[in-house]
Amino acid sequence: MIDRRAFLAGTGAVLLAAPLAAEAQPAGKVPRIGILIPTAAPPASQPWLDAFREALRGLGYVEGQTVLFEVRWSPAEKGRYEEPLLSLIRLPVDVIVVPSTSAAIVARRATTTIPIVACAGSLVESGVVASLARPGGNVTGLSAQSVEFSAKRVELLKEVLPSLSRVAAIQGPATENLQAFLFEKQAEMSARAVGLQYQLLRVKRPEDLDGAFRTATRSRVGAVITLPHPFFALHAARVAELALTYRLPLESSYREEVDAGALIYYGVSRSDMWRRAATYVDKILKGSKPAELPVEQATKFEFVINLKTAKALGLTIPPSLLGRADEIIQ
């Protein structure tokens, strides 16, 4: 058994008191919400975590009085969730909120009794839940269906770069082979569907990123995309820096990358997902069972263009595309 004090110091786990309404809780019992996030930054700086807390306040919860937030995060690039999850289970918490399919898989293996709310990408395809309508077990939440909008990502990249003929996709460390396989195959199918040659590059550590971009350059690809993996959110600044260094237009899988300098981003609004996740937590704290709460599909997506990066690369973004962007970074 890991000493809790030593574990917290070693993994960067953080405790935040955050109170909320708890009608279904026994008198005098303050429910604990365990939150797992993969980030190297302090949890309080995450906009989507702020959105989650704000949504709970809107549901009548009061921080520090009727609920406690137990926030854990792992700065490890391989997304090692086991120890942070075990620390939440040992407390114990009343519900755990996780940020990805990989984290949901690990959480489901770690506990079959504590309810889990996932803000993830492919819950059905990876077998985390039986179906959207009837998830079964102790996991429910929201699914971004990342493998389904992969085609849209490639289509947008082709619109930005009409002459593009070859694209490379970078995959992060394989924490779950099935999930990685789904994203890889969907990206390849989407690229070939619009007539692009496709190359897959894998990285295991941050040190491998430079080699991946160097290989892409030698292969004469016209653009690079990152496949969904928390690794790229953790190392967004380095990924964006290398893309500019090698003068390769980069389509990011995480908002952090385009903020750091990637050319474009198209994906689910994580703030919206976490805001909606608060309603699941509310229902569970009031007595609902995860198995009976249908998984919702993400409905809000973001298309962001980094115009500063486009100018640095000498690219002209079509006005029609700029008009469709949800945000333009100048």
Q: Domain segments of the chain: what residues?
A: 4-145+270-299, 150-268+302-329
- Taken in order 17, 18, 19, 23, the sign of the CA dihedral is negative
3-state SS class at 77: coil
Q: Residue 179: pLDDT band by 50, 70, 90 thresholds?
A: low
How many Cβ atoms from other residues are within 10 Å of residue 23's Cβ?
Answer: 10
- Of 138, 34, 140, give the one whose Cα is nearest residue 87: 34
pLDDT over 70 (residue 59): yes
Cα 7 from Cα 1, distance rounded (Å): 10
Cα 125 from Cα 132, distance rounded (Å): 10
Q: Do domains 4-145+270-299 and 150-268+302-329 have the same CATH topology?
A: yes
- Of 114, 105, 109, 26, give the one whose Cα is nearest residue 70: 114
CATH of 4-145+270-299, one of 3.40.50.2300, 3.40.50.1110, 1.10.150.120, 2.120.10.30: 3.40.50.2300
Q: Residue 12: pLDDT band by 50, 70, 90 thresholds?
A: very low
pTM over 0.85: no
User: Is the model more confident about 160 or about 127?
Assistant: 160
Q: Residue 265: pLDDT band by 50, 70, 90 thresholds?
A: very high
* Mean pLDDT of the 119-126 span: 83
pLDDT over 80 (residue 168): yes
pLDDT at 137: 94
User: Is the model more confident about 21 or about 207?
Assistant: 207
Looking at residue 196, the DSSP 8-state letter turns out to be: -
Q: Which CATH class is domain 150-268+302-329?
A: alpha beta
Q: Kindly report the backbone phi and psi dihedral angles of residue 300, in degrees, each rounded to the nearest multiple of 5, phi listed first.
A: -110, 120
Q: Residue 146: pLDDT band by 50, 70, 90 thresholds?
A: low
